[in-house]
Amino acid sequence: MAGASATQQLDSVYVKSGSLRVQINSNFNKTTSLNLKIPSLIRRTTRQLVTIPQMTLTPTTSGNFVDIDISDCILILKPIGNTKNNLHFDLGMTLQGNTNPTLSNYSLNLDTQILNLKFTALYGKLGNFTMNLNNSLDIGIFNKSIGGAFQFGSGAVGLKLNIDNSFGMPVQLNIKNLTSHSDAATPQDIAINLFGSNNPNIINLEVPTIFGGNKTTTISTTNSNIQEALSTSPNRIYFNADASINPLNNGNLNFVSDQSKINVNMDVQMKLYGGITNFAIQDTLNFNYKNIDQLENMTFRLNTTNGFPLAVKLQLYFIDDYYRVLDTMFPEPLDYIIKPAVIGPSPDYKVTSPTEYQFPDIVYNSTRIENIKTARKIILKATMNTINNSFVKIYDTNYINIQLSLKTKMKIQSN
């Protein structure tokens, strides 16, 4: 059977759609009727043999073919000697006499092709083959992060893999690359060792025993370096693995369906409890002030509400269409520090009272206005730190609210 590898010995193929083409060629010089039966080709629902139309060869037509629709059929395959995956045919012939001389040597060739085959299920000794799996996990909480590091408390982070297998055969997963990646921090990439630094990331998957079933293998790491891998506030985790299907190829009977798959789900379990150093997030505002050259001065006012248990330094950058920095609002190094929010007692350490802070008004005179004439956006960057070497807990309810208002004074020209 075309498509079966040397290591595969199929028992049966449940066909979803396809056709079987039977081509017959001969040197018969007499009209011949051919009746073809395929005992190993049956309809799935009725278990009846597939009916094949009678074929006729004439002295002037030495070849003929028939296309048989085998959709929703079962192909039953058997070995013959050392040849695997054979489809059995029975052929009956009736030759009609005529005036043509009888030849000393008649020949008949039967050629078959399975066209456009799609299967529902395969049963048998399916051999060994390899699939490549790729996946990635975005870590949303760090999406706006542009730097900084976390020192997580004990047991605060974990990585959980749920791997679904619906192949009815053993699968060994060899994870070649499992890496946390940060767009901003250094190092950008940290390899994750699930079972310790000296052990390969190899997982033998659970196997379903019922057709259409699924087995889930769960890996919850307790000996990995996931705490180190997440300390750089990575944006995502990359996953690449080779799945060796039937790695031992021990000749056991297997099954596979057209819906069989291996699905890898990664779940980062993160209790943001620990110390935080220079964790930076940023956002962007549009800024396109018309007739800015007619202004005598501009006064910016910043009001902030800090719902994080972290000290915050704030900087604003005026940038042009090419993201070139034209001006920074506050001189570096920053000395305005927004105090952390007030937190409650252990073990939750939840924020009980946000901290409000109004910056002193920032006045732009004509010189500074000239610097930002071509500005089109303002980038707000907040850099956060724990203070006094303390550990804090971060929740999805924590926030920082920044309100930016502007008051301008126009130049007035008198005639």
Q: b/e map of 343-382 (b: 16 or more CB within 10 Å)?
A: beeeeebebeebbeeebeeeebeeebbeebeebbebbbbb
Q: Is residue 280 scored above 90 in pLDDT?
A: no
Q: Measured in Å, how far apart are the chain's first and last C-alpha atoms? A: 98
Residues 302, 282, single domain; the answer is yes
- Average pLDDT in the 205-220 region? 93
Residues 263, 134, single domain; the answer is yes
Residues 191, 60, single domain; the answer is no
| Residue of 64 and 321 predicted with greater confidence | 321
Residues 191, 86, single domain; the answer is no
Q: Is residue 76 scored above 70 in pLDDT?
A: yes
Q: Is residue 383 scored above 50 in pLDDT?
A: yes
Bridge partner list, 24: 64, 110
Poorest-pLDDT segment among 152-156, 175-179, 202-206, 361-365 = 152-156
Poorest-pLDDT segment among 39-43, 150-154, 317-321 = 150-154
At residue 305, the pLDDT reads 97
- Average pLDDT in the 102-112 region? 84
Residues 142, 62, single domain; the answer is no
Specify the CATH number for the domain of residue 345. Answer: 2.60.120
Residues 283, 261, single domain; the answer is no
Q: What angle do CA 236, 242, 248 make, to 5 degrees?
A: 150
At residue 3, the pLDDT reads 44
- Asked which of 125, 156, 190 is the last residue of a domain, the reply is 125
At residue 351, the pLDDT reads 93
Phi-psi region of 124 (alpha: psi -120 to 50; beta: other; left: phi over 0): left
Q: Is residue 154 scored above 80 in pLDDT?
A: no
CA distance 128 to 79: 19
At residue 253, the pLDDT reads 85
- Both tokens of residue 292? 């800015």
Residues 174, 302, single domain; the answer is no
| Whether the Cβ atoms of residue 190 and residue 264 lie closer than 8 Å to each other | no
Q: Residue 219: name the closest of 199, 247, 190, 244 by CA.
A: 199
pLDDT tens-place string over residues 344-360 = 988 888 999 999 999 99
The answer to whether position 135 is within a domain reads: yes
The answer to whether position 206 is within a domain reads: yes
Rg (CA), the chain: 37
The answer to whether position 226 is within a domain reads: yes
At residue 6, the pLDDT reads 55
Q: Residue 279: name the closest of 179, 182, 192 by CA.
A: 182
| Residue of 272 and 302 predicted with greater confidence | 302
Q: Is residue 2 scored above 60 in pLDDT?
A: no
Q: b/e map of 23-49 (b: 16 or more CB within 10 Å)?
A: ebebebbbbbebebebebbbeeeeeee
At residue 355, the pLDDT reads 96
Domain containing residue 180: 129-270
- The residue behind tokens 């819906």 is 259
- Average pLDDT in the 243-261 region? 88
CA distance 319 to 373: 10
Residues 84, 148, single domain; the answer is no
pLDDT tens-place string over residues 84-101 = 888 888 989 888 888 888
- Asked which of 235, 270, 305 is the last residue of a domain, the reply is 270
CA distance 288 to 298: 14
At residue 1, the pLDDT reads 44
Length of the chain: 415
Residues 234, 151, single domain; the answer is yes
Count: domains in the chain: 3
- The residue behind tokens 């409000």 is 356
The answer to whether position 194 is within a domain reads: yes
CA distance 173 to 132: 10
- Both tokens of residue 183? 């767009």
- Average pLDDT in the 146-152 region? 73
